Amino acid sequence: MAKKALSVKRDVPFPLHDVNILSASDEELKSISSEMGLSLSLDEMKVIVDYFRKEGRNPTDVELESLGQAWSEHCCYKSSKNILKKFVFSVKHPNVLSRGDAGVMVFDEDHGYALRIESHNHPSAIEPYGGAATGIGGILRDIVCMGAQPVGLGDPLCFGLIDRKGELPPGTKHPRYLLSGVVSGIRDYGNRVGVPTITGGFFFDERYTTNCLVNVGALGIVRKDELTNNFAGGPGETMILIGGRTGRDGIHGVTFASADLTSTSDEDSRGAVQLGDPITKEPIIHACLEVNRLGLITGMKDLGGGGLSCVVGEMALSAGECGADVHLEKVPLKEEGLAPWEIWVSESQERMMVTCKPENTEKILEIFELWDVLATPVAVTTDIPRTKVYWHGTKVLDMDTEFLTGGPAYDRPYVSPKVSGKEDEVFPEIPSAGEAIPALLSDLNVASREWAIRQYDFEVRGSTALGPMVGKMNAAGPGDASIIMPVPGSFRGLAATIGCNPWFTEADPYNGAMSSVEEALRGLVSVGARPDAITNCLNFGNPEKPDRLGVFREAVRGLGDICRALEIPIPSGNVSLYNEGSEGGGVLPTPMIMATGIIEDTRKAVSADFKDPGSRVYLVGSTKDEMGGSLLFRKYGGRGGAVPKADPAVFKRISEKLLSAMDRRLVRSCHDCSDGGAAVAIAEMCLSGRVGAEIDVPRDAEESIWLYSESNTRWIVEIKESSAKEFEGIMGGDARMIGRTGGDFLAIAGARIPVSGLYESWSRPLWNVMGGAA
């Protein structure tokens, strides 16, 4: 064992080793990295050797473990940093109040809102319930440490086919089991902390089978004068560790997240999956927000990936070249006998760090005491930029803070992906509309999510104006975006929705990523909200494979281009790489977008369900021959084809008009066209309002393309006869009447489908697989 040979136990009454890297060969450096579970490459190990050569000594195990955490992909974005800098970080906007652990945007004169989404993919693949629950815990801490009260959760999830039959790859759990566990985890944690789950999504594809994606997003509201920093105010401050005790759970979580899953990940990695405790979390939220409101703290940060090892250095360094002296023995433990390095890198849940002027320490401790939340001063900030860690007086870590937290950045090789186009299109044989529309509604990627949605409390806090389901009571259909009214007594609304099209992104990463953003923004406009910002979680494959990195690069370029053109800032974001699965096939490239919008008067919000018989139905926007990656092609075996392109100028023009029509209360209902195209959108409006419609496919249109193309910037709207003239005046050539509402049937393209049948087709599939009934 290399580690045994190369590491020397220090003569102290606790576990501490000096690791002899200065004289180690390349092979030995590699085996030190792998046996200590550092996931550091040989080149990175060599940089560390150079550093310690200058220090004139070998590192301790605490120091090496610390670097393993800080330099992981998860913590320092080493493969993605340069790409993000090039394409995305240049998107600036005056309404961004902060780009901290969560982004913060202007909400109204006195308030900002916080937003962030991140991944919890690998832990959830191993232990879906705990993995998802801790994901929620982590994202809420990111919101709270901006000083914001969490007001909403969003959880887009990607799984293999839940009705999958046959053998699973070794070490893989059935998608149905994973979905059930993840939804239970989100339910039990989200509901218990009292934050409504208002948006989300399910994406099912065989290519998620061995590597599911669990992304969790959150929103918060903060008074502008209570917006806090994620770092200390300067030297001489106290660092107080808040919340749960520290244990062996979650050790090496970040290095785990930054490596491919393998068929033995299950047994190897349980230690890296943490257990959440919403009942510790909830009082932590209260108490942290209270000490912030009272102005007692200078900064606040959550302990996520890398635990103490990451948070201490980052809080000190950002305070302006500060360092910190840490007294590790003060950290409250779950069990005796943890080695200093374990305490230093543990990712035990429900912990935060606050910094304060020493004179406020007692007042802060008193408030946490009332809430029965542990709070322990563990460190002080210093005026030299070094992090020093002590264990009962023995120094176990002494490093330059910048070196420790900085981490490398790579320009790894990439190859540009081949893009699907019209020239390689194979149009499938498709059945009549009467057969195809119910079939598309029943597709797992379209069908009702009620099974999950009603297990989530989407109305807690009493501010949900539009929920994830809209329409008639207990017979509701899908909404486009949710709206909450986060400031009591004000009707100003914050809208949120998820957009992502992994199939477009696979076929054409640049246009697919743009379409994912457009879809999310389109959903906001559907309910009458003006798009304001996005946050994203970029789930891609192994960046060390040039083809995977090429896909990632193109997608990020698309993301940056559309956001720049539409002046939509991205105040926060998260990257999850190495989503390869045990077979190494890689997941679909999945740029998950959570978009937020503002509606000045929520009382003018529009929902997607048809309201009345006898209204006019319009198609807003134009339909193009863009069938690549469409639901129709996936369902009926089409191949190739052009993926929908997004035209920011067109989006800007049409969405402004539509929002202005909504502001004048001319629009009775509105639904965006996405999966399944106009046909599915119209059918969904019928089934959620229990109102039929007669639709005429325009004579100049190719029928199957008009029905099923998923071209961007399109909505179906319902306009009362009496408002039609004014509406047409606003929209000009951008809206075209296509029919009328009424009756109990959807009549379209020669088909006559009963609305009750549409509802059956759409509402049943998930219940049928997951069990139970509405």
Partner 1 sequence: MKAEDVKVCVIRIEGTNCEDEMYQAFKMVGASPELVHLKQLAGKAPGHAKRHLEDYDILAFPGGFSAGDYVRAGAIFAARIKSDIGTELKRFVESEKPVLGVCNGFQTLVELGLLPAFEGVMSETPTAALSTNDSGRFECRPTYLRNDNRGKCIFTSEMKKGQIVMFPLAHAEGKLLSEDPRFVEKLEENDQVAFRYVGPGGAKAVYPWNPNGSPSDIAGICNPAGNVLGMMPHPERVLTRYTHQDWTRNGQPEEGDGMMVFRSVMKKLTK
DSSP code string of 484-540: E--STT---EEEEEEE--HHHHHH-HHHHHHHHHHHHHHHHHHTTPEEEEEEEEEE-
Residue (239 or 716) nearer to partner 1, CB: 716
Contacts of 728 (CB under 8 A, 6+ apart): 735
Binds partner 1 by CB under 8 A, chosen from 462, 649, 699, 700: 462
Q: Applying CB under 8 A, which of residues 467, 531, 569, 640 lies at the interface with partner 1?
A: 467
- Cβ 549 to partner 1 shortest distance, Å: 42
Label each residue of 321-390 as H, E or C. Answer: CCEEEEEHHHCCECCCCCCHHHHHHCCCCCEEEEEECHHHHHHHHHHHHHCCCCEEEEEEEECCCEEEEE
Question: Is 17 a catalytic site residue?
Answer: no
Active-site residue among 120, 122, 252, 671? Answer: 120
523 strand-pairing partners = none
Shortest distance (Å) from residue 595 CB to partner 1 = 21
DSSP state of 445: T
Q: Which is nearer to partner 1, 191 or 445 (CB)?
A: 191
**Cβ within 8 Å of residue 65, ≥6 positions away:** 36, 38, 309, 341, 344, 345
**What is the DSSP secondary structure assignment for residue 246, as one 8-state letter?**
B
Residue 230 has φ and ψ, to the nearest 5°, of -100, 25
Regarding 472 and contact with partner 1 (CB under 8 A), the answer is yes
Cα separation values, 567 from 114, 224, 381, 533, Å: 18, 22, 39, 9
**Is residue 180 involved in binding partner 1 (CB under 8 A)?**
no
Pick 125 or 136: Cβ nearer partner 1: 136
With respect to partner 1, which residue has the nearer C-beta, 337 or 772?
772
Please list the alpha-helical segments (H only) found in 527-647: 546-566, 631-636
Is 286 an annotated catalytic residue? no
Q: Is 150 in the site for partner 1 (CB under 8 A)?
A: no
Q: Kindly indicate which of the ranges 128-136, 187-195, 198-206, 710-718 contains the residues binding partner 1, using the contact rule CB under 8 A.
A: 187-195
CB of 503 to partner 1, least distance (A): 31
Which of 366/383 has CB closer to partner 1?
Answer: 366
- N residues, the chain: 774
Tell me which residue has tokens 């809102």: 113
d(CA 98, CA 533): 13
Question: Is 456 a binder of partner 1 (CB under 8 A)?
Answer: yes
Tell whether residue 383 is a contact of partner 1 (CB under 8 A): no
**Does 99 sit near partner 1 (CB under 8 A)?**
no
Tell me: does residue 459 bind partner 1 (CB under 8 A): yes
Nearer to partner 1, 188 or 547 (CB): 188
Cα 64 from Cα 58, distance rounded (Å): 10
- What's the sign of the alpha-carbon dihedral 520, 526, 527, 530? positive
- Shorter beta-carbon distance to partner 1: residue 154 or 502: 154
Task: Decide if residue 526 touches partner 1 (CB under 8 A).
Answer: no
Q: Using CB under 8 A, which of the segments 43-51, 459-467, 616-624, 639-647 binds partner 1? A: 459-467
637: left (phi over 0), alpha (psi -120 to 50) or beta: left
Name the nearest CA neighbour of 444 among 593, 687, 630, 635.
635
Q: Which two tokens stand for residue 236?
A: 């001489």
Q: Check binding of 417 to partner 1 (CB under 8 A).
A: no
- C-alpha to C-alpha distance for 447 and 506, rounded to whole angstroms: 22
Binding mask 277-316 for partner 1 (x = CB under 8 A): -xxx-xx---------------------------------
Pairing of strands 213-223, 149-159: antiparallel
74, 111, 122, 252: the active-site residue: 74
Sole window of 161-169, 380-388, 603-611, 647-655 interacting with partner 1 (rule: CB under 8 A) = 603-611
Among 26, 268, 366, 702, binds partner 1 (CB under 8 A): 366
Q: Rounded distance, CA 118 to CA 215, Å?
A: 6
For the stretch 663-678, what's the b/e string if a residue is b when 16 or more beta carbons lie within 10 angstroms of its beta carbon? eeebbbbbbbbbbbbb
Q: For partner 1, which residue of 169, 170, 194, 236 counts as binding (CB under 8 A)?
A: 194
**The amino acid at 169:** P
Please list, in sequence order, all residues whose beta carbon lies within 8 angstroms of the beta carbon of residue 438, skipping any fewer than 6 positions away.
753, 757, 758, 761
Query: What are the start-end ranges of the H helices in 111-252?
Result: 121-126, 128-144, 175-193
- Work out how close the CB of 120 gets to partner 1 at its nearest, in angstroms, rounded to a whole number: 21
Q: How far is the CB of 98 from partner 1 (least distance, A)?
A: 24
Number of residues located near partner 1, criterion CB under 8 A = 49
Stretch in the footprint of partner 1 (CB under 8 A) among 93-101, 495-503, 604-612, 713-721: 604-612
Compute the least distance from the CB of residue 246 to partner 1, in Å.
20
Helices (H) then strands (E): counts for the chain: 28, 30
Check if the beta carbon of residue 189 is closer than 8 Å to that of residue 214. Answer: no
In angstroms, what is the minimal distance from the CB of 658 to partner 1? 16
The piece of 240-248, 392-400, 466-474, 506-514 that touches partner 1 (CB under 8 A) is 466-474
What are the distances in angstroms from CA 35 to CA 42, 249, 725? 13, 19, 73
Q: Which of residues 667-696 bind partner 1 (CB under 8 A)?
A: 669, 689
Does residue 191 belong to the site contacting partner 1 (CB under 8 A)? yes
User: Which x/- pattern over 715-754 shows residues binding partner 1 (rule: CB under 8 A)?
Assistant: ----------------------------------------
Q: Is 362 in the site for partner 1 (CB under 8 A)?
A: no
Does 372 bind partner 1 (CB under 8 A)? Our answer is: yes
> Considering the rule CB under 8 A, would residue 756 count as an interface residue with partner 1?
no
Specify the DSSP class assigned to residue 170. Answer: T
Closest approach of partner 1 to the CB of residue 114, in Å: 17
Tell me the CA distances in angstroms from 264 to 162, 261, 378, one per residue in order.
22, 8, 37
CA contacts within 13 A on the Cβ side of 658: 37
Instruction: Tell me which of 348, 482, 582, 602 binds partner 1, using CB under 8 A.
Output: 602
Instruction: Give the C-alpha separation, 484 to 480, whole Å.
Output: 14
- 52 or 491, CB closer to partner 1? 491
**Considering the rule CB under 8 A, would residue 611 count as an interface residue with partner 1?**
yes
Interacting residue with partner 1 among 14, 89, 371, 636 (CB under 8 A) = 371
What pairing do the DSSP bridges indicate for beta strands 693-695 and 745-748?
parallel
The span of 70-78, 99-107, 432-440, 484-492 binding partner 1 (CB under 8 A) equals 484-492
3-state secondary structure 453-497: HCCCCCCCCCCEEECCEECCCCCCEECCCEEECCCCCCCCEEEEE
425, 457, 544, 567: residue in contact with partner 1 (rule CB under 8 A): 457
Smallest distance from the beta carbon of 144 to partner 1, in angstroms?
Answer: 14
Residues 236 and 199: their CA atoms lie apart, in Å, by 43
Q: Which stretch binds partner 1 (CB under 8 A): 7-15, 253-261, 332-340, 600-608?
A: 600-608
- Name the residue nearer to partner 1 (CB basis): 313 or 471: 471
* Nearest distance from C-beta of residue 735 to partner 1, angstroms: 21
Q: Which of residues 485-504 bind partner 1 (CB under 8 A)?
A: 485, 488, 491
Residue from 3, 86, 176, 454 in contact with partner 1 (CB under 8 A): 454
Closer residue to partner 1 (CB): 93 or 611: 611
Q: How far is the CB of 164 from partner 1 (least distance, A)?
A: 23
Supply the residues annotated as catalytic.
74, 120
Q: Return residues touching partner 1 (CB under 8 A).
A: 187, 191-194, 278-280, 282-283, 366, 370-372, 453-467, 470-474, 476, 485, 488, 491, 602-603, 605-607, 609, 611, 669, 689, 772, 774
